[in-house]
Amino acid sequence: MKILHRLMAITLVAGLVIMNIPQRAEASVSVSARSAILMEQDSGRILYEKEANKVRRIASITKIMTAILAIESGKMDEMVKVSDRAVRAEGSSIYLQPGEKIKLEDLVYGLMLRSGNDSAVAIAEHVGGSLEGFSFLMNQKAEEIGMKNTHFANPHGLDDHEDHYSTAYDMALLTRYAMKNEMYQQIAGTEVHRAPNPNESWDRVWKNKNRLLTELYEYCTGGKTGYTKRAKRTLVTTASKGNLNLIAVTLNGPDDWDDHINMYETAFKTYDVVEVLPKGIIKDVENDFYKNKVYLKQAYNYPVTKEEKNQFEIDLNLQKPKEEWEDSREIPEVVGQATVYFDNQPVKKLPIYFKLEKIKEDKSLLDYFRSLFTSIAGVNKNG
């Protein structure tokens, strides 16, 4: 008789489950920006927000998307021929010359450190084939990341299109995505970069415009500045201290350096990252079939205040063992899912793996010949 594939729920409760634990922290921070957000990078938890989903112009923090697309293109070692259109780009510039050839990697450094609009156009034309083609890639990536209130119309953030906008929340999502890439981390966190200059005997030297990184805040690890007359000052930065990794975004922030420092300092004093689920064998599983045999491949951590440290609910959903699983080779690698709840909301789902015993090669070979013999004998017996 075939056994139905059903789920067997096992619930574990860690600490007391308080119904009103805030997922969004009520941090007492005052910022000058019209829109702001502070996000913990690894978990995505929002620690502070102010009109974070309000659509606004974003200026040159647009270039975070341009940079990550260039990095993911796999063309960073290619040489880019600079077009007349790139050289004519308005605003901040790394002073490219028409027809010169420059490495795509150097263009991305010039884009992020000096906010070169000429660099942005050169990158877009090389990676996307055209500004229009690159804008399509930007919006495709935005949709993939989950940036629901964003539309890109150019690679630099200049006010040459009315349909170029985002939100503080969406830009935090983008930065969280980009910071998973080691090369992006390296470029965004570089204070000074040297690039060959084909027309002079000396190298180009670019110092990062992000003053939080270069002089104002020791825990800053990277970011991107921005400004246009319509967007006003925009800023994205990242900072790390201890085991807490943070992302701050401000849009239309006249005092943005202090805004970011105030958000960071408040969070570092208020939050700590705790291990909610450890890596390895899951304890407290009473079912005989699964006991000491199910595990997590990775730990799960979450930022909380001191008052919140033990206030999680964890649900383990394990498949009901099947008759055919008596042969251990039939047991699937993933046998369930662990769901972490915080404030009655799921914040993470992790696959649960079954620890399969290794079958000795000689035994496996013996089983093979036995099955082969049985098969042949069966054929002879039944004609």
Hey, what's the torsion of the CAs at 140, 141, 146, 148, to 10 degrees?
A: -50
- The first and second tokens of residue 58, run together, are 């974003």
60 as an active site residue: the answer is yes
pLDDT digits (tens, 9 = 90+) for 331-354: 999 999 999 999 888 999 999 999
Binding residue per annotation — 103?
A: no
- Domains of the chain from N-terminus onward: 1-25+272-383 (2.30.140.30), 35-270 (3.40.710.10)
Do the beta carbons of residue 122 and residue 82 sit within 8 Å? yes
> Which one from 63, 209, 232, 293 is the annotated catalytic residue?
63
Note the pTM of the prediction, 2 decimals: 0.84
Sign of CA dihedral 358, 361, 366, 370: positive
CA 69 to each of CA 94, 142, 288: distance values in angstroms, whole numbers, following the listed order? 20, 11, 49
Mark the ranges of the chain whose per-residue pLDDT is less than 50: 1-23, 359-363, 369, 372, 379-383
Residue type, position 226, single letter: G
Strands (E), the chain: 7-14, 35-40, 46-50, 79-81, 101-103, 192-195, 204-207, 220-228, 232-241, 244-251, 272-277, 280-281, 294-296, 300-304, 312-319, 334-342, 345-354
Read off the pLDDT of residues 222-263 as tens digits, 9 standing for 90 and up. 999 999 999 999 999 999 999 999 999 999 999 999 999 999
Query: What local confidence, expressed as pLDDT, does residue 349 receive?
Result: 95
Catalytic hit among 35, 60, 119, 135 = 60
Instruction: Spot the catalytic one: 115, 119, 135, 166.
Output: 115
* Annotation marks residue 32 as catalytic: no
φ, ψ of residue 327 in degrees (nearest 5)? -85, 110
Rounded CA-CA distance 93/114 in Å is 7
Dump pLDDT digits (tens) for 148-175. 999 999 999 999 999 999 999 999 999 9
